[in-house]
A and B are shown apart, each in its own frame.
Chain A
């Protein structure tokens, strides 16, 4: 995934704005190149879980679809753990095409952004595949 630096900064800023709760949102673009970040509301509003506000999710997905863009990634933050999918992340990964991007604030001074393809119905051990994130 190619992530322009200003968009990477936006993801980190959103994670910091919502801290200590998890943030979430979408990344739109073309192919594997991100062109814009669409922050969304975490309806759960907790440090341990995110559920994108369903109506907002529908509207943002429609907006991306109607604009002829691709849904490149679904992002959320981990505020106290590494940028790696949790068991809950895998269990609830309904979307197999977009990447799942995780922004970790575990080290507040050195946020980490990683991307994964998650196949929830794959055998255990084969569900998570990391995809490189090229920031720049």
Chain B
């Protein structure tokens, strides 16, 4: 089980927990299991086709997963993931 840190914006979707333990060998598996267990999280971070929204960032042990192997990044028992929707927008 890896540990997934839940920022305040997603906490209500996991019953108020700051961290949850989720199984999975890769970022993709951990996120899939997290969203299965807490569908409200999936509604916030996944697109209609079930893929991770382009403006949602994932960190593995503090490293940006996009700079690792993105959703194929291996995740071990002692690893910590942080999921963080971007703060973004614009006039156009």
Q: Which residues of A contact B59 (CB under 8 A)?
A: 58
Measured between C-beta atoms, what is the minimum distance from A18 to chain B in Å? 13
Contact A89 B87 (CB under 8 A): no
Categorize the interface residue count of chain B.
20 to 34
- B15 in the interface (beta carbon within 8 A): no
Given the complex of chains A and B, what is the CA–CA distance between A14 and B51 in angstroms? Answer: 35
Q: How long is the Cα–Cα vector from A61 to B11 in the complex, in angstroms? A: 13
In the complex, A111 has a CB within 8 A of chain B:
no
Q: How far is the CB of B85 from chain A (nearest CB, A)?
A: 3
Closest to B10 in A: A94
Residues of B near A79 (CB, < 8 A) are 91
Q: Are B8 and A92 within 8 A (Cβ)?
A: no
Decide if B22 is an interface residue (CB 8 Å cutoff): no
Question: Which of A3-11, A29-37, A45-53 touches B?
Answer: A45-53
The answer to whether A57 and B86 touch (CB under 8 A), given A65-B8, A71-B8, A95-B9, is yes
Residues of B contacting A91 in the complex (Cβ-Cβ under 8 angstroms): 89
Q: Give B50-86 interface residues, CB cut-off 8 Å to A.
A: 55-57, 59, 64, 82, 84-86
Nearest CB of chain A from residue B78's CB, rounded to whole Å: 20
Decide: B90 and A50 in contact? CB cutoff 8 A: yes
User: Is there a chain B Cβ closer than 8 Å to A74's Cβ?
Assistant: yes
Q: Roughly how many angstroms separate A113 CA and B78 CA in the complex, as a whole number?
A: 45
The complex places the Cα of A58 from the Cα of B64 at a distance, in Å, of 11
7 smallest CB-CB distances across A and B, nearest first, come from A49-B90, A94-B85, A89-B89, A52-B87, A51-B88, A48-B92, A92-B88
